[in-house]
């Protein structure tokens, strides 16, 4: 079995990977290179898994000859056809695998191992993109403005939870970004939060007044709960340590139930609502891109389809020749 194949089973064969194949050594070197380029552990693991699946497929398929360093375009087609049609993976997962394979072969070219990248020009057809679910402002108000429980212990939990969800909705944070916040990341004087986003990129996002008040209400409880040297902003009331992403997900469901909300509430929904509601009011897609931490504005543009009616109102109001009236046909 190969040095790395213990991470994942071969795709569809009992054939064992050849540990002497040079490709596995280059895979290890490539992962080291990704670490030097500050790729996150999650991304490196995801990319590594994709390459292991690809290597195992090539080495287990007698038709292909099994050498990843001699990969051809038809090899890619056979691999992705198997994954999409037989294993029923989603196109977005296939695209992620292709991205990993492409970057790996780019690495091999830089190392002088191969001359041509077999993935050049190779594309996977996208599935129709689903519009993000967005709750209206009244539903968010129902969640965040619910009454504080009379029970003391539950009241303390709600004060912390309200601070978390106010901040997510106020600043459009991802779940992982919220969970990763430290005390020093919030500037209470000017209302700014420093966020470590995807690709270890840092951005600063404004924090709304209600979120700042909720955070300040929470801090006395945090100070009572925290264990020594805990830097996390949001912590467990039992352990005094950083709340996990799973714990935050569960708390949102509990709080939604307490508020009488039947809609399936999940943390990313608050991020969707932030983007959609701010876009409806401002029409400033570029600013929203910055606040969400999207690398490409095309990712942000999905929200223009969520509330196109609001965008047309902004357009009508802003453009001197955009005011649309009914055209009266001459009789």
CATH number at residue 99: 1.10.150.130
Whether the pLDDT of residue 12 is over 90: the answer is no
Q: Active-site positions?
A: 174, 198, 268, 271, 294, 303
Residue 324 lies in a domain: no
248 and 149 in a single domain? The answer is: yes
| 121-128 average pLDDT score | 78
Residue 195 lies in a domain: yes
Question: What pLDDT does 9 receive?
Answer: 36
Question: What pLDDT does 251 receive?
Answer: 96
Residue 250 lies in a domain: yes
| 238-250 average pLDDT score | 95
Give the relative orientation of helices 41-60 and 22-36 as an angle to the nearest 10 degrees: 170
Question: What pLDDT does 318 receive?
Answer: 63
Residue 127 lies in a domain: no
Measure Cα distances from 233 to 136, 148, 254 in Å: 28, 21, 20
Residue 281 lies in a domain: yes
Q: At 200, which CATH number?
A: 1.10.443.10
Whether the pLDDT of residue 248 is over 90: the answer is yes
* Model confidence band, residue 255 (pLDDT cutoffs 50, 70, 90): very high
80 and 200 in a single domain? The answer is: no
Domain range holding 190? Answer: 137-318
102 and 147 in a single domain? The answer is: no
10 and 96 in a single domain? The answer is: yes
293 and 226 in a single domain? The answer is: yes
149 and 104 in a single domain? The answer is: no
Query: How many angstroms separate the CA atoms of 86 and 134, rounded?
Result: 34
| 145-172 average pLDDT score | 94
84 and 151 in a single domain? The answer is: no
pLDDT single digits (tens) 273-321 = 888 777 777 666 777 777 787 777 666 666 655 555 555 555 566 656 5
166 and 18 in a single domain? The answer is: no
pLDDT single digits (tens) 198-232 = 878 888 888 989 999 999 999 999 999 998 889 99
104 and 163 in a single domain? The answer is: no
Question: What pLDDT does 2 receive?
Answer: 38
Going edge to edge, which strands form the sheet with 202-206? Answer: 186-187, 192-196, 202-206
171 and 293 in a single domain? The answer is: yes
Please check whether residue 92 is in contact with residue 127, taking contact to mean a CB–CB distance below 8 angstroms: yes
Buried b (16+ CB within 10 A) or exposed e, 85-116: eeeebeeeebbbbbebbbbbbebbeeeeebee
Residue 328 lies in a domain: no
Whether the pLDDT of residue 246 is over 90: the answer is yes
The verdict on pTM exceeding 0.85 is: no
| 256-279 average pLDDT score | 86
Q: How many domains does the chain have?
A: 2
91 and 223 in a single domain? The answer is: no
Residue 129 lies in a domain: no
| 9-23 average pLDDT score | 50
* Model confidence band, residue 11 (pLDDT cutoffs 50, 70, 90): very low
Q: Give the Cβ contact number of residue 190 at 10 Å.
A: 8
Most confident of 61-75, 230-244, 275-289: 230-244
Residue 123 lies in a domain: no
């Amino acid at each position: 079995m190969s040095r790395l194949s213990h991470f994942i089973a071969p795709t569809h064969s009992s054939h064992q990977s050849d540990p002497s194949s040079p490709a596995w050594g280059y895979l290890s070197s490539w992962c080291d290179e990704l670490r030097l380029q500050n790729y996150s552990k999650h991304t490196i693991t995801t990319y590594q898994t994709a390459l292991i699946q690809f290597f195992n497929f090539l080495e287990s398929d007698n038709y292909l000859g099994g050498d990843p360093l001699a990969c051809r375009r038809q090899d890619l087609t056979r691999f992705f056809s198997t994954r999409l049609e037989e294993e029923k993976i989603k196109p977005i997962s296939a695209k992620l695998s292709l991205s990993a394979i492409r970057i790996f072969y780019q690495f091999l070219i830089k190392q002088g191992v191969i001359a041509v990248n077999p993935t050049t020009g190779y594309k996977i057809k996208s599935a129709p993109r689903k519009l993000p679910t967005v709750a209206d402002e009244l539903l968010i108000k129902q969640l965040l403005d619910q009454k504080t429980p009379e029970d003391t212990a539950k009241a303390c939990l709600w004060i912390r939870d309200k601070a978390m969800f106010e901040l997510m909705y106020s600043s459009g944070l991802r779940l992982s970004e919220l969970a990763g916040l430290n005390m020093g990341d919030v500037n209470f004087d000017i209302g700014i939060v420093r966020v470590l986003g995807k690709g270890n990129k840092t951005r600063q996002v404004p924090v709304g007044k209600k979120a700042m008040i909720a955070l300040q209400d929470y801090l006395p409880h945090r100070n009572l709960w925290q264990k020594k040297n805990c830097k996390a902003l949001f912590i467990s009331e039992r352990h005094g340590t950083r709340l996990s992403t799973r714990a935050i997900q569960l708390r949102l469901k509990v709080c939604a139930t307490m508020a009488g909300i039947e809609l399936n509430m999940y943390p990313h929904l608050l991020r969707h609502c932030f983007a959609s509601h701010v876009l409806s009011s401002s029409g400033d897609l570029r600013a929203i891109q910055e606040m969400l931490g999207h690398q490409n504005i095309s990712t942000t543009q999905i929200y223009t389809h969520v509330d196109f009616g609001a965008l047309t109102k902004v357009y009508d109001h802003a453009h001197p020749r955009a005011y649309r009236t009914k055209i009266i046909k001459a009789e």
